[in-house]
Chain A
Amino acid sequence: MACRRASKALGAVLALWAGAALGGPPERVVSINLCTDQLAMLLAKPGQLVSISRISQDPNVSVMLEEARKYPINHGQAEEVFRLNPDLVLAGQFTSSYTVGLLRRLGVEVAQLPIVTSLDQIPGAIREVGRLLGRAAQAETLATEFSADLAALRANPSNRPRAALHYANNYTSGDKSLANDILTAAGFANVALEAGLSGGGTLPMERLLMLMPDLIISGQHYPGASRSEAVLTHPAMNALRDRHAGSALSDAEWVCGTPAVLRAISRLQEAYE
Chain B
Amino acid sequence: MTRVLALVLVLLIVALFALSLLIGPAGLSPARSLAALLRGEGLAETLVMREIRLPRAILAAMIGAGLGLAGAAMQGYLRNPLAEPGLLGVSGSAALGAVIALQTGFAAQFALGLPLAALLGAVLAVGLILALAGPRGGSLTLILAGIAVSALAGALTALVLNLSPNPFAASEIMFWMMGSLADRSMTHVWLAAPFIAIGAVVLLAQGRAFDALTLGEDSAASLGVNLSRLRLVLVLAVASMVGAATAVAGAVGFVGLVVPHILRPFVGARPSSLLWASALGGAVLVLAADIAVRLVLPDRDLKLGVLTAIVGAPLFLHLVFKTRGQGL
Contact = CB atoms under 8 A, between A and B. Distances in A.
Interface of A: 168-170, 202, 204-207, 209-212, 222-231, 234-236, 239-240, 243-244
A228 B172 contact: yes
Contact of A210 (B48, B165, B175): B48
A226 B175 CA distance: 11
Given A209-B48, A235-B51, 15 more contacts: A206-B26, A206-B52, A207-B26, A209-B47, A211-B44, A212-B44, A222-B167, A224-B165, A224-B166, A225-B166, A226-B168, A229-B166, A231-B183, A234-B183, A236-B51
B186 interface: yes
B108 interface: yes
B229 to A, nearest CB: 38
B44 A222 contact: no
A170 B183 contact: yes
A236 B48 contact: yes
Interface in B40-89: 43-45, 47-48, 51-53
B299 A228 contact: no
Given A223-B166, A224-B103, A234-B185, A205 B52 contact: yes
A228 B26 contact: no
A170 B105 CA distance: 23
Contacts of B51: 234-236, 239
A222 B172 CA distance: 15
A209 B44 CA distance: 5
A240 B185 CA distance: 14
A226 B52 contact: no
A202 B299 contact: yes
Contacts of B47: 209, 236, 239-240
A202 B187 CA distance: 24
A228 B185 contact: no
A128 B149 CA distance: 56
Contacts of B175: 227
Contacts of A212: 43-44
Contacts of B53: 206
A128 to B, nearest CB: 28
A202 B299 CA distance: 8
A240 B43 CA distance: 8
A102 to B, nearest CB: 25
A169 B168 contact: yes
Interface string B292-304: 0000001100000
A228 B52 contact: no
B193 interface: no
Contacts of B185: 234-236
A169 B300 CA distance: 10
Contacts of A224: 103, 164-166, 169
B166 A206 contact: no
Nearest 8 CB-CB pairings of A with B: A224-B166, A236-B51, A228-B168, A206-B26, A226-B168, A225-B102, A204-B25, A224-B164
A14 B171 CA distance: 47
B299 A204 contact: yes
A222 B168 contact: yes
